[in-house]
Each structure stands twice: as C-alpha cells, then as structure tokens.
Structure 1
C-alpha cells in the first residue's frame, strides 16, 4: 500500500511552500521566477509560486506567454541547472530555440559505476557496460523511461560486478528517457563557443537582477502574507528595477 507523502503546511501562511535545497535556507518561502533580456537586462516576466514548486514547472508556459503577448522572437535562452529536465529540453527543441543549461552533478551510489560509464549505441538501441557487455531494451515505463537490462548469467561471472550493481538477481538496469536526445543536444550547446559566451551572460543579467532586488529593494523577505501579496511585491519591485534600467539607458543614449 502506498503511503501518502507528508506535505508541510504553514500555520500562518497557507499559500507558502516548504522548501528544502542543498546549500539554501530551509523553511516556508515563495519563489520569484523571472526572465530578463540579454541586451538591456530588463525584466520581461515575473511569476511567483510557493517555495515547494520546482523551478522547471512554470517555465515553458511563461516562455510561451511572453512570445504570445509581446511578440518576442526568442532565439536563445540560458538557464541554471534547475531547468535541466527532459520536458524543457524537448520543449526548447520544438520551439526551435538554442538552449544553454548549466550541468547538474548527480552523485551516484558510492562504490558503483556512474551512468556515464555505460555507452549508448543509438544505431542498435543498446547500452554497453565498461566490460563491453550489452544491456538490451526491455520496456518503457509510464514516465517515458526506457529500461535496458543486462544478462544476469554474464553479470554473475563478471569480475567487477560489485562496482556495477548490488541487485540480488545480478541484473544491471540502465534507464534512458525517450527525449534524452534533446537533453544531450543541450549539453553539446553548453560546450560550444556560442553556448559558453551566452551562459557567461547569466552573471551579468539574471543573477545581477536578483542580487539588486535583494540588496537595494528589500526583496529578501515578503512584506505581507499570501500569494497575491507576494506577487504584488515582486511586480512592484521589478517595475522599479526596470524604471532604473530604462533611465540609465536613455541617459547613455543622450550623451
């Protein structure tokens, strides 16, 4: 029987969400998902969610909203590692947008081979282990992951079995999402010259935008409770930031 997942609820602000991330403060928060343009660093979109909503959840819908409302011809996007998901990578591909997303480091089980040690052969649709044994396709689950399994008889006699799997049946399973090719293309984009140049812009644009909001506009804390009030604070903060950016740009043009 599946047990219900425990969800922490604030007794003082029901709209907020409990956030836990490595290296970040833990507690009830709101998240401001914002987009800026690379040329002038103007904030083009603001969307506030509870703190337990993953960054990637609202992304594609907010991107489509900007394109539809403002007629933006989006050519490229640079995102942090929180957006490295197969739906976003696939969505970027479908929209014909060049995407650069930071690498996310996964920590494999200590003592076992990481997934990158297993080579995928697209022509034959198989994985090959470090000992050159094949893992063949078995099934696709409802979440879109293809399962590739080794031959337990071969694995039982393998000299490095303990570094590969700890399963009782001595079978190694490797999964691959049906949209994994889209994610791999994003990785290649990140390593290209144009991708590296685009990703460096993040420090000068979106990271600076958040830093300015926190440092100069009191955006470290919500002033009022409730999602509507948090959204209002975020919108008013970005209005002020944009006014300052526009004023500075007009001043430069006048000189």
Structure 2
C-alpha cells in the first residue's frame, strides 16, 4: 500500500513497469467523443468495472449496436451481457493460454450432446462438476492416458490425468469470435487506433494526465472527468467552427 496515497493501487504493465497509479476505464463513440468514464485504483482488473461504464453508456445511448472491447474485457460474462442485450461485442484476438509445446485449449472439443470433451487422441474426458468460477470440469481416465503417445504434449500431471475446464458461457465467447472475423467486426476494431487509443494518447501528452498532483480517489476522479469534459468541449468547438 502506498503511504503517500492509500487509495491508489499497484499497477503492473509488462515485466518492468510497476508503479502506484489509478486506472481510467473510458467509453467513446466512433467520433472520439467520451461517453462514460470510471476511475479505479491501478490494481483493479478492467473486467470488474465494465458493468458500471456499460450500463451508464447504453442507458443514455440505447442506439448502440456494436461494443468494441480491449482484450482485458474479453470474458464470458461481458460477452454474454452484450449479446443478451441484442448487441455485438467486437473483441481482439487473444492468444491461447497454454504451455509451450502443449496442445491448445481449442484442440479439446466439447460435445454438447453427451456433455463431454474429446481430446486430440479421440479419448473422452468425463464431466465431473461445475466449480464456483462457473467452469465445467472434465477429467480423463488415467489408465488410458498413462500409455498415450501424446501424454507429454497433453499434461504434466504425475497422476496421468488431464483436467479441462470449459466455462458455462463459453458459447458467448465463440459468438464474439465469429463476429470478430466478420467485416463489421474488423471495421469496428480498426477504429480503436483512431478513437480510444487517440484519446488516451492526447490525454497523456496534451492534457498532462500521465501523472496527477492530486491524492485520493474522489479528487483524482473529479480531476479526470473535468479533463475529459474539456476534451469533449474542445472537439465540439472545433466541429462547430
């Protein structure tokens, strides 16, 4: 905890950047007007703040059809919330989280009819339970895996048992992946460099938001929102005149 400002959090980016900071979670439209903002300590994950910003924006602008997200917001719950609202989530490619030399998660295919998972060697992993994180757990038969030629690429378990987790809302991630490959999904994500990324760049370089002289979450939040309001007013003035 910071002794200078207890409200901030330890922010990590990459292997070398570690600092006490605040994080701004911002939503904007295709013309780079800021529609919503929420400020949190730097150690709060992006996905936990999404609901508040999203609900605020769609309440004021219900005509929104496509929601373009950063990789940090690509979670089953967020995709489900957007799709159930009748909108399309536009998400980036996310590298599969697997060890080097091991099979990728998508190579373990879920069979919805039999509620099981089929491994790359066409062996069945049986459903065991659904854990508190909302993931279905599937486990293989150790007696079969022990003599499998793919064992070294499949699991490092000493008990020779492979465990695969599939989220109960995994199909919403799949729907988001399908939209990512569509022309509308590609076009909307390409706008990020011209919109939200430009907003953050301008805020840091032109509006002195790389660092703050204020302490306390409330003061910093008011300072950030005032800066964003000024950015919107400047853009509006340039458009009008």
State the TM bucket, normalised to the shorter chain.
over 0.9
The CA deviation string for residues 45-87 of structure 1, in whole angstroms up to 9 with x for no partner, is 111100001111111222112222x243221110110101111
**What does residue 3 of structure 1 align with?**
none
1:184 alignment partner, SS class:
helix
Tell me if 1:224 matches 2:214: yes
Question: CA RMSD, aligned part only?
Answer: 1.4
Matches within 5 A, 1:57-136: 57-68=48-59, 70-136=60-126
Distance 1:24 1:92, change over 3 A: farther
Gap runs ≥5 in structure 1: 1-8
User: 13, 24, 28: which one pairs with 2:20?
Assistant: 28
> Counterparts of 1:43 and 1:133 in 2: how far apart (Å)?
51
The CA deviation string for residues 200-244 of structure 1, in whole angstroms up to 9 with x for no partner, is 011111111111111111010012111112112211111111011
1:139 alignment partner, SS class:
strand
> Post-superposition shift, 1:170?
0.9
Tell me if 1:204 matches 2:194: yes
2:48 alignment partner, SS class:
coil
**What does residue 154 of structure 1 align with?**
144
> Post-superposition shift, 1:122?
2.5
> Post-superposition shift, 1:24?
6.6
The CA deviation string for residues 111-142 of structure 1, in whole angstroms up to 9 with x for no partner, is 32221221222232222111111112111111
> Post-superposition shift, 1:177?
0.5
Provide TM-score, normalisation by structure 1: 0.90
Provide TM-score, normalisation by structure 2: 0.95
Contact 1:67 1:74 in 2 (8 A): yes
> After alignment, is 102-111 or 193-202 more displaced?
102-111
**What does residue 186 of structure 1 align with?**
176
Contact 1:17 1:51 in 2 (8 A): yes
> Counterparts of 1:112 and 1:201 in 2: how far apart (Å)?
35
> Counterparts of 1:61 and 1:169 in 2: how far apart (Å)?
44
**What does residue 140 of structure 1 align with?**
130
> After alignment, is 100-109 or 143-152 more displaced?
100-109
> Counterparts of 2:17 and 2:226 in 1: how far apart (Å)?
25
Distance 1:201 1:20, change over 3 A: same
Tell me if 1:50 matches 2:41: yes
Contact 2:26 2:53 in 1 (8 A): no
Contact 1:84 1:103 in 2 (8 A): no
Matched residue count:
241
> Counterparts of 1:57 and 1:24 in 2: how far apart (Å)?
24
Q: Which 4+ runs in 1 deviate beyond 3 A? A: none
**What does residue 19 of structure 1 align with?**
11
Gap runs ≥5 in structure 2: none
> Counterparts of 2:50 and 2:154 in 1: how far apart (Å)?
36
> Counterparts of 2:68 and 2:61 in 1: how far apart (Å)?
19
